[in-house]
Amino acid sequence: MRPRELGRSLAVFAARTPTLPPATHTNSYALGSREVLLVEPATPYDDERRAWVEWVRAMPATGRVPVAIVVTHHHVDHVGGAAFLSKELGIPLWAHAETASRLDAPVDRLLAEGDVLDLDGPLPERWRVLHTPGHAPGHVCLFEENERVVVVGDMVATVGTILIAPGDGHMATYLAQLERLAALDAAVALPAHGEPIETPATLFRHYVAHRLLREGKVARALDGFGERGATASELVSTAYDDTPPHVWPIAMISVEAHLEKLVEEGRAILRENRYHRAAP
């Protein structure tokens, strides 16, 4: 059912998007009991856009007035409707500067670390902007400190996985930001893909532990190539031997991200397009 009310001042609208399987939808959230922030103008599909517009246009009848559309980051399954929905509804678009520079849509306000977005209403809310790069350079989360609710975009998911792609993403930064989110001790996390997360600190730390275990497998796989070294594609079958081969092309991107981290930490060396374990 959509839209779905999650609380007195919180609703979710899951829209079909071209996202990474097995996920098929991206969650948009309406935050606020009178003034409302709409998070994730995600869908590029006409039928889904029409449904999204109907959802937003019905809000004033319930005493809620949208004041802005917030983009967590620039990936296509999060901004497919950004330009259209902002223009169609006459609602300003807000995003981090790194995201704005990657959007084909005018951004009315640049969000930065520490900004506070105050929403008036029967239940006043203060959403603090957290700049959380690692998955994407301009990724932001929103944290409501009184209710201890955090909107996490693509930092974690309860459907599918989070891809860290070198160039756009950065594994060490991503892991550090997950630890930061865990330290918030939020009561609920709202991901872009899947259901709300209870006791999210547990999941954030699980993500960190899982990525570090995978990094260990990448390092051990690299050891097996000795002085010859290896490419990322040569390491996938060993580092991801617990996953089916059809996911290895995506897994190779994660291997590259882990290798980049190993090089930055002095634990591996990239020489002539092959990775080698650094001497202890």
pLDDT tens digits, one per residue of 51-95: 999 999 999 999 999 999 999 999 999 999 999 999 999 999 999
- The tens digit of pLDDT for each residue in 87-143 reads 999 999 999 999 999 999 999 999 999 999 999 999 999 999 999 999 999 999 999
Please give the pLDDT value at position 269: 97
Q: Give the residue-averaged pLDDT of 20-33.
A: 96
Domains of the chain: 4-198 (3.60.15.10), 210-277 (1.10.10.10)
How far apart are alpha carbons 74 and 37 in whole angstroms? 18
Q: How far is CA 128 from CA 145, 151, 213, in A?
A: 8, 10, 32
Main-chain phi, psi angles of 235, to 5 degrees: -90, -20
Name the pLDDT band for 279 (thresholds 50, 70, 90): confident
| Maximal CA-CA distance, the chain | 69
State the chain's mean pLDDT as an integer.
97
Please give the helix or strand (H or E) that residue 206 lies within, else none: helix 200-223
Entry pTM = 0.96
- Per-residue pLDDT for 161 more than 80? yes
How far apart are alpha carbons 214 and 229 in whole angstroms? 19
Name the pLDDT band for 199 (thresholds 50, 70, 90): very high
Q: Give the residue-averaged pLDDT of 210-231.
A: 96
- Per-residue pLDDT for 1 more than 80? no
How far apart are alpha carbons 265 and 243 in whole angstroms? 27
